[in-house]
A = this chain, B = another copy of it.
Amino acid sequence: MNRDYLDKEALQGALNDAVIKALLNQEGALANYIPELERVDPNKTSIAIKFPSGDILMAGDAKDHYFTLQSVAKMIVLAGLLEEEGAEKVISWTGMEPTGRAFASISQLEKFGPVPANPFVNSGAIALCNRIPGSQVEDKLQWLTHWTEKLFGAPLPVNQEVFESEYRTGDRNRAIAYLLKSNGVLRGDVDETLRVYFTLCSYQANVMDAAHLPMLLANGGRDVEGRQILNSSTCKYIIAVMATCGLYDSSGSHLVHTGMPAKSGVSGLVVAVALGHAGVATSSPRLDSKGTSIRGEIMLKSLSKALNWHFAS
């Protein structure tokens, strides 16, 4: 799978260049709709690349910069359900079309509904959280723990402050969930589903942790020891949805400019799949108006250009 010879020095140079370009940019603002997300240091900036060989390269504040996964974690529930329930069922629970709208858009549910447009808008991820097997919240959280460990190669802690902050202020997501319930898409208790969803968003990692899942995807679902963690069909599905829907209404320009299917989160994390090469994770909390990390995109563009990691090259 790995089509190119890895010259570590050249790679490290590309990473360093990417971080330097990013640090020169001071634009953007912290996400402000979850109080806890506003407390982070706005200057933290880090990048890591993980190769199927197990090699990891990094630059910036990679080791000591922790953040919550936020929407990047939507990949966990999607992957787990694709593996356990199959694509056909997942498609019946949420579509796979870009919306041309923001991540928490409610209008799109009235327009496209009853089923959410794709698994990466909030409504889609909430609908999937509702389908996690288990009769109680604890069972579903256990399922999440299991899959998170599988997909990131190690357990990730839940940031309880962020969870409480999201739970306390998550009225827009409550509105989405009740609308899904009203549409007949969401079954059972709304509050329980939201507790699962808010927990999902609150997993905590640094970029070295975060680069594991995109590495798996870049490597056909196999981990560094060659074990098949995800089926090839699951990888194709997820990567394709990342390509078209991963950055909401910036997905198109992201794909043109970087060629690396990616998923962003409002904490400033972006994970990206360098197809045939490696998994990439960047993190920096200042966001543009569409909720994407500005420095993250700068790093990914720089890297894609330097290493010619565009999927269409």
Enumerate chain A interface residues (CB-CB to B < 8 A). Answer: 95-101, 105-112, 117-118, 171-172, 174-179, 181-182, 190, 217, 220, 232, 235-237, 239-241, 243-245, 249-253, 255-256, 259, 261, 273, 275, 310-313
Contact = CB atoms under 8 A, between A and B. Distances in A.
A106 B96 contact: no
Contacts of A313: 220, 232, 235-236
Number of copies: 4
Contacts of A237: 256
Nearest to A3: B3
Contacts of A232: 313
Contacts of A275: 311-312
- Residue of A172, A241, A255 contacting most chain B CB atoms (<10 Å): A255
A256 B243 CA distance: 9
Given A100-B108, A275-B311, A310-B236, A252 B261 contact: no
Nearest to A251: B244
Contacts of A105: 110
Contacts of A241: 252, 256
Nearest to A181: B171
A111 B106 contact: no
Given A110-B107, A261-B312, A98 B171 contact: no
Contacts of A250: 97
Contacts of A253: 95-97
Given A99-B100, A237-B256, 20 more contacts: A97-B98, A97-B100, A98-B100, A98-B244, A98-B251, A100-B111, A105-B110, A107-B107, A171-B179, A174-B181, A174-B182, A175-B175, A175-B177, A175-B182, A178-B178, A239-B311, A240-B256, A244-B244, A275-B311, A275-B312
